[in-house]
C-alpha cells in the first residue's frame, strides 16, 4: 500500500506524511526494468532545462554554502581558461531560474548590467557581465550558490573533453581535486566489464555530438548507508564505515537509494559542455511503501552482478539488504 492509501484511510495527513508524499512524488525513480542493466540511457529534454528547484531548495542551499565556506578547496576548482564559459553558465542559470520559477526568482539584463533576485533566500546579485571586478566569487562558484545542482564545466578541446571547472558539494565517493584538469575519458574509475567494449569512448563521442542549446538527461543510481548528500572521497573514513553497520533489522533506516539526475548541455556561445548533477535521496523505509518501486528495486539488487555490486560499494551489506527486502515481502504477503 502506498501513501495515498494511508491518506484515504485516515482522511487526514500530518506534516511528516505531507513531506513524504511530495518526496515520493518528486523522486526520480531510476529503474525501468526488473533486472539490472547498465547503459548510457540518456534522453533529450524538452523544454531544455538544466536545473530543477524542489521543496528541499532552502535546506540544500544552506548545506551547500556551509560546505563551500568550510571546505572551499575541496568543493570548488577552476582553471583560468574556464572563465568565459563560467560567465556563460552564470547567465544561463540565472535566466533559467527566473523564467521557469518567476514567483521565486527574477533576472534583468540591460546591456551588460545584470541583476538577479532570489526571493526564496531574500538575496540579490548585481554585476556587470564579464567584469570580474563586480563579483566576489568566480561566476560558477557564485551561481552554484543559487541552485541545488552540482555544476561541472567540461572544456571541449579539439582532442577531447577536459574538466576545467567544477563546484561539487554532493559527490558520490569521488574527488574534484583529483580529477580537475583531467580528460573526460580518464576521470571515471573503470566500470567493470564496460571499459573493455569501448563504452567510455562511445559516451565521449555522444557528448561531443550534443548540439548547442539541447539538454540530455540520464539517471544514475547508487546506495548510501547514510542520509548525507555530501559523501566525497575526502571524508570516506567518516561515512564509509557505516557500510559495516547494516543488519537486516536496521536496513530500512540506514539505507538510502541515491539517484543523480545528470544533465548535459552544450553552451551555445563557447561550445563547452555544462554537466549538472541533482542528487536525490530516498530512505529505504519510504521506498518500500510504493509497491511497484519496492518490487523493481528488489529485482535489480537481486540480479546485480557481483562486480557491479562491488563497484557500487554494496557487496559488504548486500546479503542483509536482500534479507530485509524479503522479510518485508513476507510481511506484506501475510497482510501484516
Partner 1 sequence: MRPILILSEVRFKKDGLKEKELQKENGSSVELKLIDSPVDRKKIEQILKDKPLGTMLILYTGGAARKRIRRAANSAGFSHEDVRIGKMDTGTYCIFCSQCHRINRTASLEKSIICISCGQHLEPSNHYSSFQDAYLGYPIL
* Binding region for partner 1 (CB under 8 A): 73, 79-81, 155, 157-159, 162, 164, 175, 177-183, 186, 189, 233-237, 240-241
CB contact at 8 A, 166 and 152 = yes
Name the DSSP class of 211.
P
Grid cell for residue 229: 548528500
The residue among 231 and 290 lying less far from partner 1, judged by its C-beta, is 231
The residue among 79 and 228 lying less far from partner 1, judged by its C-beta, is 79
23 noted as active-site residue: no
Residues 304, 309, 315: CA angle, nearest 5 degrees = 120
The residue among 61 and 274 lying less far from partner 1, judged by its C-beta, is 274
* β-bridge pairing 123-128 and 150-157: unpaired
68-77: b (≥16 Cβ within 10 Å) or e: beeeeebbbb
Q: What's the per-residue H, E or C state across 119-177?
A: CCCCEEEEEECCCHHHCCCCHHHHHHHHCCCEEEEEEEECCEEEEEEEECCCCECCCHH
The residue among 189 and 247 lying less far from partner 1, judged by its C-beta, is 189
Annotated active-site residue in 130, 145, 218, 323: 218
Q: How far is the CB of 163 from partner 1 (least distance, A)?
A: 9
Q: How far is the CB of 182 from partner 1 (least distance, A)?
A: 5
Q: How far is the CB of 237 from partner 1 (least distance, A)?
A: 5
Q: How far is the CB of 171 from partner 1 (least distance, A)?
A: 12
Q: Which residues are catalytic?
A: 218
Amino acid at each position: 500500500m502506498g501513501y495515498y492509501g494511508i491518506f484515504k484511510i485516515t482522511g487526514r495527513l500530518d506534516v511528516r506524511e505531507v513531506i513524504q508524499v511530495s518526496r515520493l512524488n518528486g523522486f526520480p525513480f531510476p529503474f525501468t526494468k526488473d533486472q539490472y542493466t547498465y547503459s548510457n540511457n540518456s534522453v533529450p529534454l524538452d523544454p531544455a532545462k538544466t536545473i530543477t528547484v524542489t521543496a528541499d531548495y532552502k535546506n540544500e542551499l544552506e548545506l551547500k554554502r556551509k560546505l563551500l565556506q568550510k571546505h572551499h578547496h575541496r568543493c570548488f576548482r577552476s582553471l583560468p581558461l574556464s572563465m568565459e564559459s563560467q560567465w556563460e553558465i552564470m547567465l544561463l542559470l540565472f535566466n533559467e531560474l527566473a523564467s521557469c520559477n518567476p514567483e521565486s526568482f527574477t533576472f534583468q539584463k540591460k546591456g551588460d548590467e545584470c541583476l538577479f533576485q532570489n526571493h526564496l533566500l531574500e538575496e540579490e546579485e548585481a554585476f556587470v557581465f564579464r567584469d570580474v571586478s563586480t563579483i566576489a566569487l568566480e561566476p560558477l562558484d557564485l551561481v552554484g550558490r543559487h541552485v541545488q545542482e552540482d555544476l561541472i564545466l567540461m572544456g571541449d578541446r579539439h582532442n577531447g573533453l577536459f574538466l576545467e571547472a567544477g563546484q561539487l558539494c554532493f559527490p558520490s565517493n569521488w574527488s574534484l581535486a583529483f580529477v580537475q584538469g583531467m580528460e573526460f575519458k580518464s576521470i571515471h574509475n573503470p566500470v567493470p566489464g564496460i571499459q573493455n567494449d569501448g563504452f567510455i569512448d562511445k559516451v565521449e563521442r555522444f557528448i561531443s555530438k550534443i548540439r548547442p542549446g539541447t539538454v540530455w538527461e540520464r539517471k544514475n543510481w547508487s546506495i548510501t548507508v547514510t542520509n548525507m548528500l555530501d559523501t566525497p572521497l575526502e571524508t570516506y573514513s567518516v561515512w564509509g564505515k557505516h557500510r559495516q553497520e547494516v543488519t537486516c533489522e536496521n536496513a530500512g533506516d540506514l539505507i538510502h537509494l541515491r539517484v543523480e539526475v545528470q544533465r548535459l548541455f552544450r553552451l551555445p556561445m563557447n561550445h563547452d559542455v555544462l554537466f549538472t548533477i541533482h542528487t536525490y535521496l530516498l530512505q529505504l523505509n519510504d521506498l518500500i511503501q510504493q509497491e511497484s518501486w519496492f518490487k523493481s528495486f528488489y529485482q535489480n539488487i537481486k540480479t546485480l552482478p557481483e562486480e557491479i555490486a562491488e563497484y557500487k560499494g554494496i557487496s559488504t551489506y548486500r546479503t542483509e539488504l536482500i534479507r530485509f527486502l524479503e522479510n518485508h515481502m513476507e510481511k506484506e504477503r501475510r497482510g501484516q
